[in-house]
């Protein structure tokens, strides 16, 4: 397989920040995790090729959606949206509730051999960190989505990785929710 047989989905990947919660019936969830502390509630959903992160603190609620889904996305409550292609950073402040949302998105297209090695490395990493993970086939090869979550006293970090064999696409996001 020296050439991928289908067009890459890299140009359809987008990151959307909502100022509200999203509803799970709009997506095909593979796993869900909820973390509650006295300061915040955090929820993560993993889907084949995408994820949603919801963070609530005081009166504030924000949701990050990363998906390659092109249509049928909610448009109510969108604070920011951008294609994931390339590399970008974004910051949004919620001053009333003392929350800062930071995200970095990086994408790349890998050769077949490098994709296979990256897939195996990420699969091992998912086991090592007990991350949320889903593996599936896309007609070209094995694909993987992974979320790794770390909690700190005033921050929550979530790294997500989405690997699609079709096109050798890798999308990596690092998201931080800082709270007062």
Q: Name the β-bridge partners of 155.
A: 152, 178
Can you give the pLDDT at residue 67?
95
Q: Each residue of 23-52: pLDDT tens digit?
A: 999 899 999 999 999 999 999 999 999 999
Q: Are 55 and 62 in contact (CB under 8 A)?
A: yes
pLDDT band at 4 (very low <50, low <70, confident <90, very high): very low
Q: State the Cα–Cα distance between residues 143 and 39, nearest whole angstrom.
A: 35
Give the predicted TM-score (pTM) of the model. Answer: 0.93
Q: Given a cut of 60, is residue 11 above it in pLDDT?
A: yes
Report d(CA 72, CA 33) in Å as an integer.
Answer: 24
CB atoms within 10 A of CB 105: 23
Instruction: Specify whether the CB–CB gap between 102 and 64 falls below 8 A.
Output: no
Residue spans per domain, the chain: 12-179
Chain segment 43-93, per-residue pLDDT in tens:
999 999 999 999 999 999 999 999 998 878 999 999 999 999 999 999 999
């Amino acid at each position: 397989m020296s050439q991928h047989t289908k067009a890459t989905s890299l140009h359809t990947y987008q990151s959307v920040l909502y100022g509200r919660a999203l509803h799970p019936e709009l997506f095909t969830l593979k796993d869900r995790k909820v973390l509650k502390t006295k300061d915040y509630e955090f929820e993560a959903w993993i889907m084949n090729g995408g994820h949603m992160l919801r963070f609530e603190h005081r009166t504030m609620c924000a949701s990050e959606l990363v998906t390659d889904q092109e249509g049928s996305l909610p448009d109510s409550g969108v604070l920011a949206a951008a294609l994931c292609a390339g590399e970008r950073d974004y910051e949004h402040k919620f001053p009333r509730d003392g929350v800062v949302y930071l995200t970095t998105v990086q994408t790349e297209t890998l050769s077949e051999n490098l994709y296979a090695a990256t897939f195996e490395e990420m699969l091992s990493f998912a086991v090592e960190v007990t991350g949320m993970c889903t593996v599936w086939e896309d007609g070209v090869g094995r694909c993987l989505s992974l979320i790794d979550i770390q909690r700190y006293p005033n921050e929550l970090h979530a790294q997500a990785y989405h690997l699609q064999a079709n096109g050798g696409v890798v999308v990596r996001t690092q998201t931080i929710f800082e709270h007062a």
